[in-house]
Structure 1
Amino acid sequence: MWAGRAPAYERGFARLTSYTVGPLLDAAGVGAGVRVLDVGTGPGIVAAGAARREAVVSAIDADPGMAETARRNVPGVDVRVAVLPEVPFEDETFDAVVGNFVINHVGEPEVALKELRRVLRVGGRLALTCWRMPGSGALAVVRDAMEVAEVPWPDDIPVTPFMEYGEPEAFKELVAGAGFADAVVDEVSWEHVADPEEWWETGALARVGSNGVIISRQAPEVVARVKAAYDEIMARYAVGEGKVSLPAFALLAHGSR
């Protein structure tokens, strides 16, 4: 699903998720000299933010293309290819572990969280973001257009297993259940200003995420039907000069080992 998608992701969803980089790093106490692991680094926006704070940064991502993009964007950072729950570091290596919208892509989040706890030192901080579920606003425009166009969800593409954790109390219980103390979940919302045509190209047409993969399988007339529905939905968010302002809703969980 993500192989070869790094350039499109960097131009689209990475910009959307950049809003939470600061709050994420703050929640994990990332500053000068802090040893931090960025999990699911993607194009490296969180790793870059941590590096600007003069932290000692390592990162992992499941996709080699994403890892290579992160290496290019954040020179000097130790970026490794690894698929959660695999974390290729020794016990208690880090002072902080952060992940920006990656835990919601993990098939076994409970197992992954325990592995993240393993590589944290005693007293170290964890901070993770996930989308508020069910998805709405920026996260939902393409999916909503597919529903209007009556595009069925294929049996071979699973709905995110994280759906049940996408509300504050459930996310908090998940983190606390993995052994993190003082678990807290904050709700975060913002407005993402974007070009609707670029959002369509970098998401729906570039095969980014589940929606993009499904659209790539459709006949041209079906894609046109989805695009027409998408244009109608996007018109509701128009703010002038060919831009739209899309609301985004997320959760930020943090706790300590």
Structure 2
Amino acid sequence: MTAWSVGPLLDAAGVTSGTRVLDVGTGPGIVSREAMRRGADVIALDADPGMAATARANVPGLDVREAILPDLPLPDASFDAVVGNFAINHVSRPDEAVRQFARVLRPAGRLALTCWEMPPSGALSLVAEAIEEAGVAVPDDIPTPPFADLGRPAPFGALLRDAGFADGEASELRWLHEVDAEDWWTTGALARIGTNGVIVSRQDAPTVTRIKTAYDRLATRYATSGGRVALPANALLATGTR
């Protein structure tokens, strides 16, 4: 689903041939791969060693390093562009991370970051709505997502301006993510990833069945054909110039 925003992200950062790019939170490397296809010189970072290894395997020749944001072990003014595709929403101190992004950018360098829009809707809310409809309460120990305050244009743009990006602003991104409904249930509810996955994993079998029944009913709102659904994906793109 996050692959759709790669093009707008790199366009906003002005990534073309010869651009020196830092890809933060590279994940499987899809942003770096497209930047390299454009002729950019890329260094990629990820906090997870396994994900860094995946990026190396997916993008031959990519320089992938391990780092946990906001720590950024790179020299000042060493990049023309810093990009992060849904990375800032995994950072516990986003304000410090953005200041570090500013530090490693050269004068007139560009920053571009994506973040999910809050409150969740469409693709991000389908499993959560099913959990709620099934009468399952969110456990007290489930934290509020660290990016909840950034999921609106004004705070997201302000995050950049507070870090020194005078023209920092955030705009909306909208697209449809078409996927097999059963695959979305498996990755969104049964994979034990994210808030919804943790909640579902704690339930007994009858409760999981009740959640799945609610999910199947709610998913019909987005049905296309052959068991597939077209889920609205709603995100923000923040950009600024150093």
Q: Structure 1 segments of 4 or more deviating over 3 A?
A: none
Structure 1: gaps spanning 5 or more residues: 1-15
* Aligned-residue offset at 1:241: 1.8
CA distance in 2 between counterparts of 1:154 and 1:122 reads 46
Match of 1:194 among 179, 192, 200: 179
CA distance in 2 between counterparts of 1:171 and 1:218 reads 35
Residue 204 of structure 1 corresponds to 189
Q: Deviations along 1:30-64, whole A, 9 cap, x unmatched?
A: 11111101111111111111111110111111111
Residue 39 of structure 2 corresponds to 54
CA distance in 1 between counterparts of 2:181 and 2:80 reads 40
CA distance in 2 between counterparts of 1:185 and 1:170 reads 9
CA distance in 2 between counterparts of 1:79 and 1:219 reads 41
Computed over aligned residues only, the root mean square deviation of the Cα atoms, in angstroms, reads 1.1
Residue 69 of structure 2 corresponds to 84
CA distance in 1 between counterparts of 2:156 and 2:52 reads 27
Residue 56 of structure 2 corresponds to 71
Match of 1:139 among 92, 105, 124: 124
CA distance in 2 between counterparts of 1:204 and 1:218 reads 11
Q: Is the 2:45–2:65 Cα contact (8 Å) retained in structure 1?
A: yes
Q: Deviations along 1:150-196, whole A, 9 cap, x unmatched?
A: 22222333111221221111111111111112112121101111101
Match of 2:87 among 74, 80, 102: 102
Give the aligned residue type for 1:178: A
Structure 1 window deviating more from structure 2 (236-245 vs 145-154): it is 145-154
Residue 5 of structure 1 corresponds to none
Q: Is the 2:158–2:169 Cα contact (8 Å) retained in structure 1?
A: no
CA distance in 2 between counterparts of 1:89 and 1:134 reads 34
Q: Is the 2:154–2:169 Cα contact (8 Å) retained in structure 1?
A: no
Q: Deviations along 1:62-113, whole A, 9 cap, x unmatched?
A: 1111111111111111111211101121111211000011111211111111
* Aligned-residue offset at 1:120: 0.9
CA distance in 2 between counterparts of 1:111 and 1:165 reads 14
Residue 166 of structure 1 corresponds to 151
CA distance in 2 between counterparts of 1:140 and 1:180 reads 32
CA distance in 1 between counterparts of 2:28 and 2:148 reads 25
* Aligned-residue offset at 1:252: 0.4
